[in-house]
Amino acid sequence: MEKMKAVVKYADAPGATELRDVPVPQIGETDVLVEVAYTGVCGTDPHLHKNTSPFKFVRPFILGHEFAGTIVNTGSKVSGFSDGDRVTSETHAEYCGKCALCKQNNYPLCRERKGYGFHVDGAFTKYVKVPQRILHHVPDNVSLKAASITEPFCVAYKALVSNSKVNPGDTVLIIGPGSIGILCTKLAQLSGAGEIVVVGTEGDDLRLELSKEFGATIIINSSREDPLTKIMSLGDGYGADLVLDLAGGSSALKLSMDAVRPAGQITKIGWGRQPVGFSLDPIIAKSVTLRGHFSHTWDVWEKCLTLMGKGMIDLEKLITHELGIDQWEKGFEMSESKEAVKVVLKPI
């Protein structure tokens, strides 16, 4: 049986990850086999490696869920895709397709959903089995390198465009200038926001500067300046129309509640495992909409790929480092230390 190198989380213990030889996956009649060109390192990957992720370990699995590549084998019932096609894929490797949530286009929330790199073998390897229903063609003028990080762009789109409301001239506050935060910045600009404030902290200087290239009008390093004072000095002094919390910790939620204007919106994307430790009553007093956001859907992928194909956003600008998958640990460290904005890994 043909083997390939893969980054495998092999046990439910911190640091139980290593490069292994694994079998090339066998495809079914509605699957394709994708030869991976690049896989993006997500902020959750180091947490999975260290066992600090909220996702539960079930069995050994290959990490990696942001990827693009070329089809090298096609199942007998696949239509619309052929060998040689350049593709990217959603992360929803499995879902039932029959429950009420699936029928309402909420299949990312299906109880039977299993994601690449969490519950199903992912893309830190050479070949990935992908069901046709989650495949998307990459526009001819978009590189596979850029397409490999379509997934975080889709998370940002679903959060800011689909699940929030931005009116032309609005003030949008983005807490956390990681890749999704920076992409939210660009989408806020495309949506017509008047003021786009991006807040980072110690070590975020590179990411904050990049945020300006993606449309930020104001950047704030909260380790040197009080962001609330600055935000409340803008416009009519009531605060931000929309706050996007990408950081996830309790301090970010507290800033969100303080900085949002009455009747405004908070969309929380970042995970935060620690207790909040303060009252949520200001949400009531201000009549604020607080919404959690997770994942993306097929229609969002098509819209994001259209924006990429039209040249309205260049995802390659986010990619600061490219490494082989044998250097996965270095890539994880660079991502966590903020030395990198976005790392992509190539199979070996």
Question: What are 104-122's pLDDT values in tens digits?
Answer: 999 999 999 999 999 999 9
Do 310 and 238 have their domain in common?
no
Q: What pLDDT, on the 0 to 100 scale, is given for residue 17? A: 97
Best CA proximity match to 66, nearest among 183, 5, 135, 148: 148
Do 252 and 329 have their domain in common?
no
Mean pLDDT computed over 138-152: 98
Q: Which of 292, 309, 324 is the last residue of a domain?
A: 292
**To which H or E segment does residue 81 belong?**
none
Do 275 and 303 have their domain in common?
no
Do 285 and 305 have their domain in common?
no
Do 179 and 219 have their domain in common?
yes
Strand 289-292 and strand 260-268: pairing?
parallel
**Whole-number Å distance between alpha carbons of 135 and 331:** 26
Report the share of the chain in percent with pLDDT over 70: 100
Q: Is residue 250 part of a domain?
A: yes
Question: What are 318-333's pLDDT values in tens digits?
Answer: 999 999 999 999 999 9
Do 308 and 265 have their domain in common?
no
CATH number at residue 216: 3.40.50.720
Q: What pLDDT, on the 0 to 100 scale, is given for residue 1? A: 65
Q: What pLDDT, on the 0 to 100 scale, is given for residue 55? A: 79
Higher pLDDT, 272 or 187: 187
Do 136 and 32 have their domain in common?
yes
Q: How many domains does the chain have?
A: 2
Q: Is residue 273 predicted with pLDDT exceeding 90?
A: no
Q: What pLDDT, on the 0 to 100 scale, is given for residue 53? A: 84
pTM above 0.75, yes or no: yes
Do 258 and 327 have their domain in common?
no
**Whole-number Å distance between alpha carbons of 6 and 271:** 27
Question: What are 209-236's pLDDT values in tens digits?
Answer: 999 999 999 999 999 999 999 999 999 9
**Whole-number Å distance between alpha carbons of 319 and 235:** 34
Do 124 and 169 have their domain in common?
no
Sign of CA dihedral 12, 14, 16, 19: positive
Q: Is residue 159 part of a domain?
A: no
Do 190 and 323 have their domain in common?
no
Q: Is residue 213 part of a domain?
A: yes
| Residue 312's pLDDT band (cuts 50, 70, 90) | very high
Residue 120: DSSP 8-state: B
Q: Which of 292, 313, 330 is the last residue of a domain?
A: 292
Residues 136/161, Cβ–Cβ less than 8 Å: no
Q: What pLDDT, on the 0 to 100 scale, is given for residue 274? A: 79
Question: What are 5-62's pLDDT values in tens digits?
Answer: 999 999 999 999 999 999 999 999 999 999 999 999 999 999 999 998 877 788 899 9
Q: What pLDDT, on the 0 to 100 scale, is given for residue 293? A: 95
Do 168 and 245 have their domain in common?
yes
Q: Is residue 275 predicted with pLDDT exceeding 90?
A: no
Q: Is residue 196 predicted with pLDDT exceeding 90?
A: yes
Q: Is residue 157 part of a domain?
A: no
Cα 345 from chain centroid?
A: 16
Token pair of 325 as six digits: 């998958």
Do 135 and 267 have their domain in common?
no
Q: Is residue 197 part of a domain?
A: yes
Q: Which domain holds residue 264?
A: 164-292
**Whole-number Å distance between alpha carbons of 33 and 25:** 8
Q: Is residue 156 part of a domain?
A: no
Q: Which of 255, 274, 292 is the last residue of a domain?
A: 292
Q: What pLDDT, on the 0 to 100 scale, is given for residue 57? A: 83
Report the share of the chain in percent with pLDDT over 90: 95
CATH number at residue 101: 3.90.180.10
